[in-house]
Amino acid sequence: MSSGCDSHRHNPADGEDSFAALDNGRKLALWGIRVWVAALRNNWPPAQTRETLMEGFALAYALEAIDPLEGMMSILAGGSSRQIAVNCPRCPGVTEDERILLDLVSLCQQRRRSRSHLDREDRFGRMAGGLMTPAAIRLFEIPALLLADCLLLAGIILPPRDTAAAVVRRPEAGNILPFIHPASPNLH
């Protein structure tokens, strides 16, 4: 994953591509994703990463969401099919990959709220298919559902957005490589 942090990216962002335009639930989830990736890129000790995540999630009374977030990101780190663009925690902009990750958690919340555990249209698989391998998608869904549940229990809802634009074309089978490893430039 890549950090996507060039000095020009720290200029204020406007419109729908800005962090400020996100609802509070998406801001919290995205902040957690960004902190996890920053910790990986900067080789933070696990205790420092967890402490930082705890500070933010405690403010939202959602400490239980940390374990599923870490599990979800670990699976993404090991099962991505390409470089994933995740900005640093200070960036005002939001990448399309970040939006897709938030949409996946939102979709899990929608399924839980409708009490439907089946995704008959496999929207989850289609949205995640541009980010990770098929095996990783199956593994990723479990902590994504747990994260969605933990956020719901804390009263944090990630409302859906128009996901038609979030479906990304799956890469060709020959291009799928295990990209992510500690301090990898693929988690950006």
Tally the domains of the chain: 1
Q: What is the pTM of this model?
A: 0.80
Provide the phi-psi class of 156: left if phi over 0, else alpha when psi is between -120 and 50, else beta: beta
Could you tell me if 68 and 150 are in contact, meaning their C-beta atoms sit under 8 angstroms apart? Answer: yes
Q: Could you tell me the pLDDT band of residue 120, with boundaries at 50, 70 and 90?
A: low
Answer yes or no: is 80 within a domain.
yes
Q: What is the percent of the chain where pLDDT is above 90? A: 66
Instruction: Say if 2 falls within a structural domain.
Output: no
Quick check: is 7 in a domain?
no
User: Residue 99: its pLDDT value, please?
Assistant: 96
The per-residue pLDDT for range 146-186, each reduced to its tens digit, is 999 999 999 999 998 864 344 333 333 333 323 333 334 44
Instruction: Tell me phi and psi for residue 84, to 5 degrees.
Output: -105, 130
Q: Which of 72-76, 115-119, 148-152 has the lowest mean pLDDT?
A: 115-119
Report yes or no on 186 lying in a domain: no
Check residue 117 and give its pLDDT. Answer: 58
**Residue 187 confidence (pLDDT) above 80:** no
Cα dihedral 49, 55, 59, 60, rounded to 10, equals 10
User: Range of 40's domain?
Assistant: 14-175
For residues 95 and 86, is the Cβ–Cβ distance under 8 A?
A: yes
Residue 125 is assigned to a structural domain of this protein: yes
188 in a domain, yes or no? no
Alpha-carbon span 134 to 114, nearest angstrom: 25
The residue with greater pLDDT, 111 or 168, is 111
Residue 181 forms part of a structural domain:
no
The answer to whether position 79 is within a domain reads yes
